[in-house]
Amino acid sequence: EFIDFIQKNKKPMDKLLSYYACAIMEVETKFRVLDHQYSLEYDRNPIEDIKSRVKSWESLIKKVRRKEIPLTLSSIEENIHDIAGVRVVCSFPDDIYMLADCLLNQDDITLIEKKDYIKNPKPGGYRSLHLIISVPIFLQDEKRMVTVEVQLRTIAMDFWASLEHKIRYKKNIPEDKALYLQNEMLECAEISADLDRRMQNVRDVISKNVPKEEKIPFLGELI
C-alpha cells in the first residue's frame, strides 16, 4: 500500500516537500536576523548553531504508519507537524525564551502548539522548547501557510539529546545494559540542567555587575 502510494504520488510529494524546504529558509532567516541584531546590541550571539532538515520520505512514511494516519497528501500535511524541523542551539537557557518570544511576536507567525520540555522535562530526561508554528511562503502565484517544528535548546541539552538519540536507535541492547543506560542518561540530564543553571548564573553576574564598556578583557587581549 505504502510503496504503491509513493510510486503514484512521487511528483506531488516532492513538490510538497519543497514547500517545507522553503519554510525552513524563512524561519532560519528570522533566527539569523534576531541573532545579528542581538549581537549588535549586546555584543554577543545568543545562537550557537542552527540545524535544519526536511523529514525523509522513509521516516515520514514510518510516522504515518505508526500514527495510523490516512494515506493522503492532505492528511499527511495536516497531521504530521515535524516535516520541516529547525533546531536552534543557544548558549544559555534565557536565550531560548528570549528568541521564542521574539519569533512568536512576529505578525506573520502563528503558534499552533508550544511544548515546554525544559520546565516539564520528559520522563527520560529530554529537555527542549518545542514550538509548532505556521509560516507563510510566497510562491509565484500563491501564498501558502506551512507548518514548521522549531526546537530550541542549549548546547548541553543538544549534547544530551544527540547521545540519547543514538542509544534509542541502537538495536539489541541487553535488558540489564538498557536499564543502566536509562538511569545514567536520566542522571546526566539532571547534571547538565544544573550546569546550564550555573553557567546562566555566571553570565548574569558578569552582565549585571560589569558595564559593557568596562567588560573584562580576554586573556589574549591582555598579552
Which amino acids are annotated catalytic? Answer: 149
Closest CA to 13 of 69, 75, 65: 75
Pick from 44, 49, 124, 145 the residue near ligand 0O2 by CB under 6 A. 124
Rounded least distance, CB 128 to ligand 0O2, Å: 7
Q: Applying CB under 6 A, does 115 fall inside the site for ligand 0O2?
A: yes
Rounded least distance, CB 122 to ligand 0O2, Å: 5
Question: Taking phi first (over 0 means left), then psi (-120 to 50 degrees means alpha), and beta for anything else, what does residue 209 get?
Answer: alpha
Taking the CA of residue 32 as centre, how many other CA atoms within 13 Å lie in the half-sphere pointing to its CB?
10
The stretch near ligand 0O2 (CB under 6 A) out of 26-34, 36-44, 158-166, 205-213 is 158-166
Q: Which residue pairs from 8-17 have beta carbons closer than 8 angstroms and sit at least 24 positions apart in sequence?
A: 9/73, 12/73, 13/57, 13/73, 16/73, 16/76, 16/77, 17/54, 17/57, 17/83
Pick from 8, 65, 122, 144 the residue near ligand 0O2 by CB under 6 A. 122
Rounded least distance, CB 119 to ligand 0O2, Å: 14
Q: What is the DSSP string of 153-190?
A: EEHHHHHHHHHHHHHHT-----HHHHHHHHHHHHHHHH
Q: Applying CB under 6 A, does 82 fall inside the site for ligand 0O2?
A: yes
Closer to ligand 0O2 by Cβ: residue 45 or 59: 59
Rounded least distance, CB 60 to ligand 0O2, Å: 10
Alpha carbon 148 to its chain's center: 10
Closer to ligand 0O2 by Cβ: residue 33 or 111: 111
Q: Applying CB under 6 A, does 126 fall inside the site for ligand 0O2?
A: yes
The stretch near ligand 0O2 (CB under 6 A) out of 16-24, 121-129, 180-188, 211-219 is 121-129
Closer to ligand 0O2 by Cβ: residue 120 or 209: 120
Helices 93-104 and 2-42: crossing angle, nearest 10°?
A: 110
Across the beta sheet with 110-116, the strand order is: 47-54, 84-90, 143-154, 129-138, 110-116
Pick from 130, 146, 157, 189 the residue near ligand 0O2 by CB under 6 A. 130
Interaction site with ligand 0O2 (CB under 6 A) = 82, 115, 122, 124, 126, 130, 161, 164-165
